[in-house]
Amino acid sequence: MVCLEDKAFTKKMIPQGLFITYQDYHAGNTAFKNWFKAENRRKEYICRYIENRYIMCRDDVFILQKPLRGSFKYLVLQVLKEKPLHGYGVIQEIEKMFNGQYAPSPGIVYPTLQLLEDIGYVKSSVIDGKKFYTITEDGKRALEENAHKIHELIKHTHNIKKFMIDLEGLELIKAMKKLFKHLPELSEDKMAEIKRLFSDFRHKLIEIIEH
C-alpha cells in the first residue's frame, strides 16, 4: 500500500493525458480506469491531486490553499474523532473549527472520505438512509502522529482572520483583483504610477514589521 505521505508522489506517476480527477474516474474515463486497475494504483494519488488543486476558502481567496495541501485528511479525521458524521456534517464541523473562516466544498470532502475508508482510517455505515463515517484505530493513530499539522492550520487561520478583518486584507485583495482585470487598458503612465506605489508600500511595510 502506498503511504499517504510518500515523497515520491508526483504527476509523473500518472501517464500523460490520463491524470484527471477523482470525479473523472467515476464519470467513465475508460483509459484512466484501465490504467488505474492494471497498475493497482490507489485512490490517494487522485485525492492528493484534488487536495493540491481544489481546496479554497471563501470569497475566492486562496490563502488557505498551501497550508492545507496534504493535511486536509487529518482535518476530517479530527472531526470524526469526536463523533460519527455524514459528509455534510464533516463540512459543518470543519467550518466550526475554523470559526466560519473556511468551509470545505463537497468536491474535496467526499473523495477524502472515500480515500480514508479505502485505506482503513474510517469505516462507514448507513443510518436512516445516510452514510455515516467513524474513525478507526488506525485512523486515530494516524491523527495522533500528525496532530501538529492541525494546530498549525488553526494558527494559520487565526492569522488569516487578523489579516482579513483587522488589516482589511479582503479589501486589498479585491483591489488587486480589480487591478488585474483592468491591466490591459492601463496607460504606461498609470502603470508607472502603480509600480511606484507598490514599491513605496513594500518598503514601508517591511520597515514597520522589522522595526
Answer yes or no: are the C-beta atoms of 12 and 4 closer than 8 Å.
no
Looking at residue 167, its pLDDT comes to 86
CB atoms within 10 A of CB 64: 20
Task: Assess contact for 43 and 2: CB atoms under 8 A.
Answer: no
Q: What is the predicted pLDDT for the residue at 161? A: 74
- Please tell me the CATH code under which domain 11-166 is placed: 1.10.10.10
Delimit the domains of the chain by residue range.
11-166, 169-210
C-alpha 170/C-alpha 161 separation (Å) is: 10
- Residue 51 is predicted with a pLDDT of 39
Give the ranges where the chain is alpha helix by DSSP (H).
Answer: 22-27, 30-38, 44-54, 65-68, 72-82, 87-97, 106-118, 137-145, 147-161, 169-182, 188-210
Residues in the chain predicted with pLDDT less than 50, given as ranges, are 1-29, 32, 39-65, 67
pLDDT score, position 62: 39
